[in-house]
Amino acid sequence: MNKYFKTILLFLLVFSACKTPEARRPVKTTSGSFIDASVAMNKKIIAADEKDILALIEKDTSREYYSSEQGFWYYYNNEIPSETEQAGFGDVVKYEYEIKDLNGNLIYTKEELGTQEYQMDKEELISGLREGLKLMKEGETATFLLPSHKAYGYYGDLKRIGANMPIITTVTILNIEQIN
């Protein structure tokens, strides 16, 4: 009997050990209300930025403004109608720019920022400026009106540009070095 008892016990242990693992359930579940609130807040910020920018555009009848597919507005200060190519992926763009707030107050001058070099889509740059450089040709100057989410976003630049602050940046492309 001892032998049968040990055999049965061994079978029970083997079969109970082969049980498939069960998924662990979270101790606390959330409803996603934080995400919903964040989305609603972001929509309000974007709507306020767009309202301010469109009011600025409406006042300025001396320029022809373009709306980009990426969610910002711009106009050319100096447009070159030639067949010069725009910068493509990996090209090195040398440019100068300045930054103003929507009231036209200078935040950073060209002299402070200096000449910049940017390798297209291979380096970090605020999204509005990155997309704006793609629209320009060598020698052109354009002014971009960027809502805060296309500029410095939630944090600003931690110096002079505040959180959720739309900006105006005037950019001049000095040189485009074609890599391909």
| Position 165 in a domain | yes
Judge whether residue 9 has pLDDT over 80.
no
| Position 116 in a domain | yes
DSSP annotation of 158: S
Residue 127: band (very low, low, confident or very high) from pLDDT cuts 50, 70, 90: very high
The confidence score (pLDDT) of residue 19 equals: 61
Number of domain units in the chain: 1
Rounded mean pLDDT of 94-109?
Answer: 96
Which range marks the domain in which residue 121 is found?
A: 37-177
Cβ atoms 135, 149 nearer than 8 A? no
| Position 24 in a domain | no
50-89 tens-digit pLDDT: 999 999 999 999 999 999 999 999 999 999 887 778 889 9
The residue assigned the tokens 């930054």 is 99
DSSP run (H or E) holding 23: none
CATH number at residue 57: 3.10.50.40
Rounded mean pLDDT of 131-154?
Answer: 95
Cβ atoms 74, 145 nearer than 8 A? yes
